[in-house]
């Protein structure tokens, strides 16, 4: 099973940089959860994580990345190395060359167009450098901010998955959006061996 390589250089565009998640990001992550009391709910968590939980996650992230199970990027703005959000690649299916992408931004930097840029950078990396053929965003149907972000990043809205997620005792509908290599507006890379 392929793994996700660590970045030798950040992924960059004119306003946003993505680098590998690091333990030094934990204080800013905790602040973001404090500043947005609903962030954990949008990320499918029962409660905000503690510093200890984030520390354990930081310890296992590299081995999970090498195993191809997930990868996490820290979103940076300008030339400062301060975590302003994260992009997480999860629900990876190497048999079908696809993965799901989720993200969040700290409340103070929302609404400036950074989220679509960060999402697009991560998706391009997955499609070009990691050999995936489909990157998808699956989110609650009422999460209009994430739906708009994904659409602004070039993802195609494919519709609603009815009763898709179980949250507690109830099941929720979700919107699914996808980005394929051909959606990048550039010629697709030839598959290995062709």
pLDDT per residue as tens digits for the range 107-155 = 999 999 999 999 999 999 999 999 999 999 999 999 999 999 999 999 9
User: For residue 54, what are the domain limits?
Assistant: 11-184
For residue 115, is it within any domain?
yes
For residue 101, is it within any domain?
yes
What is the pTM assigned to this prediction? Answer: 0.90
For residue 1, is it within any domain?
no
Which CATH number do you get for residue 105?
3.40.630.30
81 with 96: CB under 8 angstroms? no
Q: How many domains does the chain have?
A: 1
83 with 25: CB under 8 angstroms? yes
85 with 122: CB under 8 angstroms? no
For residue 71, is it within any domain?
yes
For residue 107, is it within any domain?
yes
Residues 102, 99: Cα–Cα separation, whole Å: 10
């Amino acid at each position: 099973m392929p793994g996700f390589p660590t970045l030798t250089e950040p992924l960059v565009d004119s306003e946003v940089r993505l680098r590998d998640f690091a333990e030094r990001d934990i204080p800013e992550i905790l602040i973001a959860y404090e500043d947005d009391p609903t962030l954990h709910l949008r990320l499918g968590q029962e409660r905000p994580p503690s510093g200890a939980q984030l520390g354990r996650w930081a310890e296992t992230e590299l081995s999970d990345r090498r195993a191809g199970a997930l990868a996490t990027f820290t979103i940076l703005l300008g030339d400062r190395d301060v975590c302003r959000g994260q992009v997480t690649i999860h629900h990876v299916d190497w048999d079908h060359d696809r993965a799901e992408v989720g993200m969040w931004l700290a409340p103070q930097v929302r609404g400036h167009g950074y989220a679509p840029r960060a999402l697009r950078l991560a998706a391009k990396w997955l499609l070009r450098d990691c050999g995936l053929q489909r990157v998808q965003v699956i989110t609650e149907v009422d999460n209009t901010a994430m739906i708009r972000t994904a659409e602004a990043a070039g993802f195609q809205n494919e519709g609603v998955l009815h009763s898709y997620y179980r949250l507690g005792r109830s099941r929720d509908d979700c919107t699914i959006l996808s980005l394929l290599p051909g959606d990048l507006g550039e010629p697709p890379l030839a598959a290995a061996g062709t």
